Amino acid sequence: MLTEAENVQYLYLILTNNGNPTIDWQAVGAALGLNKGAASKRWSRLKLSMDKGEGSGGATYQFLWLCVKHNNNDQVPNWAEIAAKSNTTTGAASKRYSRIKQAIDAGADAPAASTTSPVKPKAMPKKKKATTSSGDDVPATLNPKRKRASPRKKPVVASDEVEMEGRSKPETENDEEMPDVKSKRVKATSRCETKAAVIKKEQPAGEGAHDPFYDAHGKRGVNGKQHAGDENERNNGLHNWLCTSG
């Protein structure tokens, strides 16, 4: 089935095949509820749009059908030329017009106007030109420069952590020196003990025999106890001197 655009193209070729048609604009205007001048102007506007290849409105087929009906030009159209422009054969173009004439002679009404507007081809969007601050046009196709990513910064060690690390090192060194101090103290005490033992050994064994405070059993009496206390004080002083001097 032919589309509305194809029907419009076919009727327009019939009307303009033998030059300008002779149309009763009074009858056409009456059928459309227009005056004669409005009907004639409508034809002029339609002819301009068809010659430019632009789409037509929904009521164009109805208007052209009335123009064919009230056309007073009795010349036979050139069907070969019309068929070539309509992309059909000469016989098909002639038979098609015969069916339209039969409907017109039978008093058929003009086809109702289509409620849908013709689909216009979408125009390609124009690229807008970017303008600089000075007003000069800049091609819009230029791609904006991408900013380079800033290099990642290495994490900075906090000053508190640095101070803690610096303080921790001397403590470890002191810890390592502690065993040496303890060993020196042990050696000093051992030297004092050995010197005291040597002094005791060097004391003469028969010292008590000649001491008048010793009794017959070699023990001290009452006075001998006091003498023994003095001797102990001397030994303790000697012991302390050896410890400090070693």
In a domain, 66, yes or no: yes
For residues 10 and 101, membership in a common domain is answered with yes
Residue 123 lies in a domain: no
- Confidence class for position 233, pLDDT limits 50, 70, 90: low
Q: What is the pLDDT of residue 118?
A: 45
How large is the average pLDDT for residues 101-117?
A: 69
Gyration radius (Cα) of the chain, Å: 67
From CA 110, how far away is CA 108, in angstroms rounded? 7
* Domain assignment present for 167: no
62 located within any domain: yes
Residue ending a domain, choose from 105, 137, 159: 105
Query: pLDDT grade, residue 148 (50/70/90)?
Result: confident
| pLDDT given at position 241 | 64
Q: Which tens digit of pLDDT belongs to each residue from 188-204?
A: 555 555 555 545 555 55
Smallest CA-to-CA distance from 189 within 117, 233, 228, 242 is with: 242
Domain assignment present for residue 100? The answer is yes
User: Which residue is listed with tokens 């470890």?
Assistant: 172
In a domain, 177, yes or no: no
CA distance 64 to 7: 9
Tens of pLDDT, residues 44-69: 999 998 888 876 666 888 899 899 99
Last residue of a domain, one of 79, 105, 131: 105
Instruction: Please say which residue of 105, 134, 153 terminates a domain.
Output: 105
Residue 131 within a domain = no
The H or E element that residue 131 is part of is: strand 130-131
Whether residues 100 and 188 fall in one domain: no
Range of the domain at 209: 183-245
Q: What is the pLDDT of residue 181?
A: 46
With 50 as the cut, is the pLDDT of residue 79 above it?
yes
Alpha-helical (H) ranges within the chain are 4-16, 25-32, 36-51, 60-69, 79-86, 90-105, 159-202, 207-210, 222-245
Strand partners, 130: 138
CA 16 to chain centre: 62
Cα 112 from Cα 59, distance rounded (Å): 8
Domain count, the chain: 2
Distance CA 82, CA 85 (A): 5
The pLDDT mean for the chain works out to 69
Q: Is the whole-model pTM more than 0.85?
A: no
CB 17 within 8 A of CB 84: no
Domain assignment present for 82: yes
SS3 110: coil
User: CA 79, 85, 86, 88: dihedral to nearest 10 degrees?
Assistant: 70
Report the Cα 156 to chain-centroid distance in Å.
29
Confidence of residue 84 (pLDDT cuts 50, 70, 90): very high
**10 Å Cβ neighbour count for 208?**
15
Q: Does the pLDDT value for residue 30 go beyond 80?
A: yes
Comparing 159 with 96, which gets the higher pLDDT?
96
Q: Is the pLDDT of residue 171 over 70?
A: no
* Single-letter code of the amino acid located at 121: P
